Amino acid sequence: MSGEAPWRHGASAVNDAKADKQLRLYVGLVAFAGFCCLLWAISHAPALPAERLFLPAAVTTIIAAASSPLVSVRVRSEKRGIAATSGSILLAAATLPVPWVIICTTVGALASRIMMRDPLKVSYNASKDIVAATTAAFTISVLGIGPTADLIVDLPAPPHLAAAILGAALAYAAVDELLGMTLFSLLSGASWRRAMRGHWDVTLVVRGVNIVLATLVVIAVEYDSLLVVATIPTVLALQFATKNKVRQRADQEAWQRLAGTADQLNVTELTAVLHAAVRRTPELFSADQAEIELSDVDPPRLVRGEAGRLAYDGPVAEAPRHEGSTIEVPLDRPGSDGTPIGVLRLRFRKPVKLDESERYKLQTLASSLSTAIDNARAYAQLKRINAENAYAAAHDPLTGLANRRELLEQADRSFADRHTDGITAMLLIDLNHFKEVNDTLGHAAGDDVLREVAGRLEDAAQSGDLVARLGGDEFAILLTGLPTPAVAGHRATAMLSCLEPPIMVDGMQLTVEAAGGIALAPGSGGVQELMRRADVAMYQAKRNGQGIATYAHAQDTTDVGRLMLGGELTRAVAKHEFYVEFQPIVDLASGDVVSAEALARWHHPEHGDLTPMQFLRTVERSGQLAAFADAVLEQSLTAVVSWRDAGFDLPVAVNVSPRSLLDPTFPAAVLDRLVAHAVPADRLVLELAETLTLSQLDVVDRTLSELRDAGVRLALDDFGTGVSSLTVLSRLPVHQLKIDREFVTAVETSSEAAAVIRSTVDLGRSLHLTVVAEGVESEPQRHALWELGCVAGQGHLFARPMRAERMLATLQRGSGALAEPLHETGAVVRLPQRRRSRNALPHLPA
């Protein structure tokens, strides 16, 4: 076997003159050595008997046949063949005198390369074979094997023969490899080790098989020299079979390596994908370098690797220049659109042509690379979206501060972590008169103020503090790790004083006043209790016109408004001091009563009847909210049943505090009452205040879906006043919208109010929601609302809130109607386009 010499690609490719000179010198030396051997052989060749001339002729033919490369390996820009010349030369060496071995090799080697056009290449390769053959021939004759003068081979015992052939084979291999590798490394610049590494195993096997075959053939030839002729087709057949086998195996290995690389690309991080690709690809294609250019990013990115390491990763424009030739394949996005991502390039020092199978592999690699890049990008995007969602869930979009949920969670965590040193405290800050800023300067100015306040609080906070916006103009700061309770007070004062300097809004100086309440973490009750206490303190500060108040247990009950003595609420519930009045909701066109809203009152033994404005806030903060809500619901359902028994089957609308929705037992309490009174769920409408809190908490979502699934109707109260009406609506699946009184009052005078009503009605129509107007006080308002497409309304025009019995009497008196119809029968009117939806109020005249 011999290493078929590689060759450079045309003289023009030689750009290193020194290396070229070295090369020429080396080639010249080898050719000269070969020529010397040949000269010696010709001068010393013994004459052969004519009848045995067939032997050198056959041997020459075998050498020629065996010399064509079995497999051709490209290492970087250089090709290298592996041939099975060695066996034929061993055969020659064992059966012919040394000079004839050289002559036969010369003729055979030249004949097998008859197709090569480059004389330099032919003479080098032939010379190499000659020198190696000479060495093998001398070795074998020194080891005592050789024909007699009349070419009769007289062999020693098989072990001796095998040893001699092995010795000759080693000598041949040493010279062959030495000469071949030297040239190869001179040409390709690859190291000797690298040159050896390629297909060393194939080389070894081919050489071993050659030794065995040569030994067998030699024994056969001794038996009958004519058998050598039969060897010729055998060699050709073997040559053919091995060639296929070797090729197949090389191909399979290459695919396995490719698959291995594709596996390595299966990572989620883009940079890891790119780096793995450029590190592995050069080896796969025996390229000097591989690079990926991503052209769909700004700036275009180039990643380059060579020999298992990363060579460059950065903008294309800044990449080091590279001499030589490239082969590139486009990287397209997988899938139908196939938008280009960039290119994958193989780089070589010299021009290289890939064979068909290599091109196919490159194409395959490119498509798995495209997929890997696409996957990594999709993954990165997913990660980003998740992070954004997590951020949005924990932050207030306006100020970027933590939101209520985040505050509660963090406070919970600091409560749970028993190892935290120091004291935990909560500071609640509420801006005074913020509504006026909104009303006079507009919401944009209000937002500016909130952002400025948020910024100042953040600046004043220390590390470890958590500043949050609870909604509206309420802020909270969670202070942890305080050394003493007194420090909490100091910190609170510092936080509040940062709000004192005027705030510039639209070129105006505004002074923001705020009230703050501070409370220390309670022994029990957790976060909720801490919040409640801070709230109580803040409320106290507000009432007393103080800047800051600290929660004190002794004052908890007395200071929550003089009316609201702790025991009083409990008593109020126990003694049924809370009662409910009903305000009819009327079909605007016909004047028929279609429903009624329950409004709570407190009949206080000392202070007389109190309105929700006066007591609700306190009830909500006390432990009595559930009992209060239950009392209201109980009375409302009792009323519904009494009206129904009298023939007026009206649904009732009951107001629900946002805080009730945080109570997971609330839905069950409501549904139990419905069952107890045998009132169908769809006869109950729950009116929800439109607050941000509502739309932010999962527990609220769950509470509401539970109620809704049971058939209870939901209405969004005071619609239009919140900043995020649409956001709330998208999250809360309600059946009804109640337009706030603010717009109804202004419906005739303000085109903006009219526009809000019109768009609310439109919204209701497209979402199949009923729209009810609140606070209708005059006929012109009623008419205007009806013209705008609003179906139902409530207000002093029709009736003030009244007790259930009076409501029934009113219904009976008017046979269910409370007002004259808008239009007399026969009058020509243009009816607003109206569609009755499934969610429309019952009893609406069609």
Give me the residue label for tokens 């070419």: 151
Residue 68's Cβ-side half-sphere holds a number of Cα atoms within 13 Å equal to 16
Task: List own/partner pairs for 69-72 with CB under 8 A and 24 or more apart.
Answer: 69/4, 70/202, 70/206, 70/239, 70/242, 70/243, 70/246, 71/199, 71/202, 71/243, 71/246, 71/247, 71/250, 72/4
- 261 makes contact with ligand C2E (CB under 6 A): no
Residue 504 β-bridge partners: 509
Q: Binding residue for ligand C2E (CB under 6 A) from 11, 17, 47, 613?
A: 613
What is each CA distance from 300 to 235, 296, 369, 799, in whole angstroms?
56, 7, 17, 72
CB of residue 528 to ligand C2E, shortest distance in Å: 19
CB of residue 635 to ligand C2E, shortest distance in Å: 9
> 657 touches which of ligand C2E, Ca ion, none (CB within 5 to 8 A by kind)?
ligand C2E
Give me the residue label for tokens 């009432």: 543
Strands of 419-551 (E only): list them. Answer: 423-431, 466-471, 474-482, 503-505, 508-510, 514-520, 548-550
Q: Which is nearer to ligand C2E, 325 or 778 (CB)?
A: 778
Q: Binding residue for ligand C2E (CB under 6 A) from 34, 282, 801, 816?
A: 801
Q: Which is nearer to Ca ion, 430 or 718 (CB)?
A: 718
> 473 touches which of ligand C2E, Ca ion, none (CB within 5 to 8 A by kind)?
none
What is d(CA 466, CA 689) in angstroms, rounded to the nearest whole number?
28
Give me the residue label for tokens 């040239």: 183
CB of residue 718 to Ca ion, shortest distance in Å: 4
**Token output for 806:** 């009076």
CB of residue 774 to Ca ion, shortest distance in Å: 5
Q: Which is nearer to ligand C2E, 55 or 811 (CB)?
A: 811
- 324 makes contact with ligand C2E (CB under 6 A): no
What is the distance, to the nearest Å, from the Cα of residue 273 to the centroid of all Cα atoms in its chain? Answer: 15
What is the distance, to the nearest Å, from the Cα of residue 59 to the centroid of all Cα atoms in its chain? Answer: 69
> 544 touches which of ligand C2E, Ca ion, none (CB within 5 to 8 A by kind)?
none
What is d(CA 371, CA 626) in angstroms, rounded to the nearest whole number?
57
**Token output for 578:** 């809370």
Q: Binding residue for ligand C2E (CB under 6 A) from 600, 772, 792, 811?
A: 600
What is each CA distance from 283 to 279, 289, 444, 752, in whole angstroms?
8, 9, 62, 72
Q: Binding residue for ligand C2E (CB under 6 A) from 179, 341, 515, 632?
A: 632
What is the distance, to the nearest Å, from the Cα of residue 684 to the centroid of all Cα atoms in its chain? Answer: 45
Q: Which is nearer to ligand C2E, 47 or 613 (CB)?
A: 613
* Site map 528..567 versus ligand C2E, x via CB under 6 A: ----------------------------------------
Residue among 79, 91, 381 nearest 231 (CA):
91
Give me the residue label for tokens 């046949």: 65
Q: Answer for the pair 102, 55: CB distance below 8 angstroms, yes or no.
A: no
Q: Which is nearer to ligand C2E, 173 or 580 (CB)?
A: 580
Give the total of residues touching ligand C2E (CB under 6 A).
22
What is d(CA 748, CA 299) in angstroms, rounded to the nearest whole number?
58
CB of residue 398 to ligand C2E, shortest distance in Å: 25
What is the C-alpha radius of gyration for the chain, rounded to an integer number of angstroms?
Answer: 49
- 583 makes contact with ligand C2E (CB under 6 A): yes
> 769 touches which of ligand C2E, Ca ion, none (CB within 5 to 8 A by kind)?
none
| Binding to ligand C2E, residues 96-125 (CB under 6 A) | none
CB of residue 728 to Ca ion, shortest distance in Å: 14
What is d(CA 618, CA 641) in angstroms, rounded to the nearest whole number?
30
CB of residue 636 to ligand C2E, shortest distance in Å: 8
CB of residue 687 to ligand C2E, shortest distance in Å: 6
Q: What is the DSSP-derived secondary structure letter of residue 6?
A: P
Q: Binding residue for ligand C2E (CB under 6 A) from 618, 717, 756, 818?
A: 717
- 663 makes contact with ligand C2E (CB under 6 A): no
Q: Which is nearer to ligand C2E, 520 or 753 (CB)?
A: 753
Q: Binding residue for ligand C2E (CB under 6 A) from 85, 125, 368, 655?
A: 655
Q: Which is nearer to Ca ion, 655 or 703 (CB)?
A: 655
Looking at 180-188, 393-401, 612-620, 759-767, which segment touches ligand C2E (CB under 6 A)? Answer: 612-620
How open is the CA angle 829-835-841, to the nearest 5 degrees? 105
Secondary structure of residue 535 in the 3-state scheme: helix
> 604 touches which of Ca ion, ligand C2E, none (CB within 5 to 8 A by kind)?
none
Task: List own/partner pairs for 495-499 with CB under 8 A and 24 or more apart.
Answer: 495/427, 495/429, 495/457, 495/460, 495/461, 496/429, 496/547, 496/548, 498/456, 498/457, 498/459, 498/460, 499/429, 499/453, 499/456, 499/457
> 772 touches which of ligand C2E, Ca ion, none (CB within 5 to 8 A by kind)?
none
> 447 touches which of ligand C2E, Ca ion, none (CB within 5 to 8 A by kind)?
none
Contacts of 599 (CB under 8 A, 6+ apart): 580, 581, 582, 583, 612, 655, 801
* Site map 673..692 versus ligand C2E, x via CB under 6 A: --------------x-----
The binding site for Ca ion (CB under 5 A) comprises 655, 687, 717-718, 774
Residue among 48, 38, 41 nearest 148 (CA):
48
Q: Answer for the pair 700, 694: CB distance below 8 angstroms, yes or no.
A: yes
| Binding to ligand C2E, residues 758-797 (CB under 6 A) | 774-775, 777, 794-796
* Site map 724..763 versus ligand C2E, x via CB under 6 A: -----------------x----------------------
Q: Binding residue for ligand C2E (CB under 6 A) from 191, 611, 705, 730?
A: 611
Q: Binding residue for ligand C2E (CB under 6 A) from 136, 376, 599, 773?
A: 599
Residues making contact with ligand C2E (CB under 6 A): 583, 599-600, 611-613, 616, 632, 655-657, 687, 717-718, 741, 774-775, 777, 794-796, 801
